Homo-oligomer: A and B are copies of this chain.
Amino acid sequence: MRDDTTKSAAGLGYGPHTLAIPGPSIVPDRVLRAMHRPSPNIYHGELVDLTHSLIPDLKRVARTEHNATIYIGNGHATWEACLANTHARGDLVLIPRTGTFADGWGEMARGLGLRVEYLDFGNRDAMDAAAIGARLREDKAHEIRSVLAVHVDTSSSVRSDIAAIRSEMDAAGHPALLQADCMASMGCDVFEMDEWGVDVAIAGCQKGLMTPAGMGFVFYNDKAARARARADCVTGYWDWVPRTEPEIYFRYFYGTGPTHHLYGLREALDMLVHEEGVEQAWERHGRLARALWAAFERWEAPGGLELNVRDRAARSHAVTSVRLPERGTALREWSEQEFGLTLGIGLGMAPLGSEEWHGFFRVGHMGHLSGHSMMGTLGGIDAALKALAIPHGDGGLEAATRALVAD
């Protein structure tokens, strides 16, 4: 019988291909199905009602009772939107840095004419809230107008304690806005906009919100709304005022809305908010992340894998950055070709395409993800370690299942 004698490792990549990059994440079948429909009327009827219904549910995800706006755009668009609505040219913003997305936000700020100051915490550790507090206390003149904090940096997978930053800001009596980038975290890692005292939060649809890329969300509270008054670089497209509770439908999007995405988002929010529940989704992501960490902590070995973030408390529940000197790209390629699993490239740790860059990869575990998804992905990494003879400790997979079922 042929199959007993043929033994090449090739071919396991046939079958359903799984994407485990840190965004876009896996889109549920239901969401895709909801988007497979004729274009609707954009002046009245179903789409208008549906759009109204999204706003309160988005607020439930961000945990705010304040304002939610939807932009057709990506995460970069929401960076520009939140800054344009809260700043005047020349304003100084303070950016505690834990990865490359802090750089990106700063670049965007400079493009708007703002001045940017970084507090760099490297790529492997959470922000030191006390250091931020110290800097704010130095700023007697209250020149710093915003602290721009990336909750989870998608590149490094570092998660920082946003509530602690607020405490320091309050303790320092500093009036700056606290703006949080929740692109990678929203719907996955615990985030409490109002409770934590976040003034502006941004997120996208294509990660924890399980909808194809193309929309971003800006949440803001009353303090941020007041900052809008002195904003002098806000333009028609970014202005959040007419987009918030608009009387005329098209003002939601300043023009034609993203019709099909809205249907998709409605379905995704039904799943996240009304079926599973946001807190339950956080728990699920937490449990899945702990399973992943358990596996990696067993696999770690000299010359082998290492989780980029050493402190469990500073690790995201949505994305995990991994160091694997020299072999990261090889592991990704084996997984993709031989196993049907696409892992994320390293980002921000070394110049793209450089020798060093090949020593990193990332696992996306955000959004639509089950125990089955996670164990399949870990199984792929375990298989790759064996196939490529990468040094690794034993027992990773079973450590993962133990973590999955732990009390």
Contact = CB atoms under 8 A, between A and B. Distances in A.
A338 B405 CA distance: 9
Contacts of A206: 39, 256, 259
Interface in A338-391: 338-342, 344-345, 352, 368-380, 382-383, 386-387
Interface string A31-59: 01101111111110000000000000000
Interface string A188-221: 0110000000000000101000001110000000
Interface residues of A, number: 122
Contacts of A214: 72, 214, 258-261
Residue among A41, A190, A259, A282 with the most chain B CB within 10 A?
A41
Contacts of A108: 235-237
Interface stretch (A19-27, A128-136, A142-150): A19-27
Number of copies: 4
B213 A260 contact: yes
B1 A235 contact: no
Nearest to A163: B1
A284 interface: yes
A203 to B, nearest CB: 13
Contacts of A60: none
A16 B39 contact: no
B80 A24 contact: no
Given A7-B407, A284-B11, A237 B2 contact: no
Given A370-B17, A401-B397, A239 B287 contact: no
Contact of A18 (B21, B236, B370): B370
Contact of A2 (B32, B190, B271): B190
A77 B255 contact: yes
Residue among A25, A33, A84 with the most chain B CB within 10 A?
A33
B284 A15 contact: yes
Contact of A36 (B14, B36, B253): B36
A259 to B, nearest CB: 5
A341 B373 CA distance: 10
Given A6-B283, A371-B380, A398-B382, A14 B276 contact: yes
A394 to B, nearest CB: 7
A249 to B, nearest CB: 10
A4 interface: yes
A13 B77 contact: no
Contact of A286 (B4, B41, B375): B4
B379 A12 contact: no
Contact of A371 (B33, B74, B233, B383): B383
B255 A74 contact: yes
Contacts of A15: 26, 284, 368-373
B12 A287 contact: yes
Contact of A32 (B25, B36, B254, B402): B36
Residue among A79, A339, A344 with the most chain B CB within 10 A?
A339
19 contacts: A9-B404, A11-B284, A12-B287, A14-B280, A16-B373, A17-B38, A17-B370, A19-B38, A23-B256, A26-B38, A41-B342, A73-B237, A77-B237, A112-B236, A212-B259, A233-B235, A340-B371, A372-B377, A374-B379
When A and B form their complex, which 3 residue pairs have the shortest distance between CB atoms, in order from nearest?
A375-B379, A376-B376, A340-B370
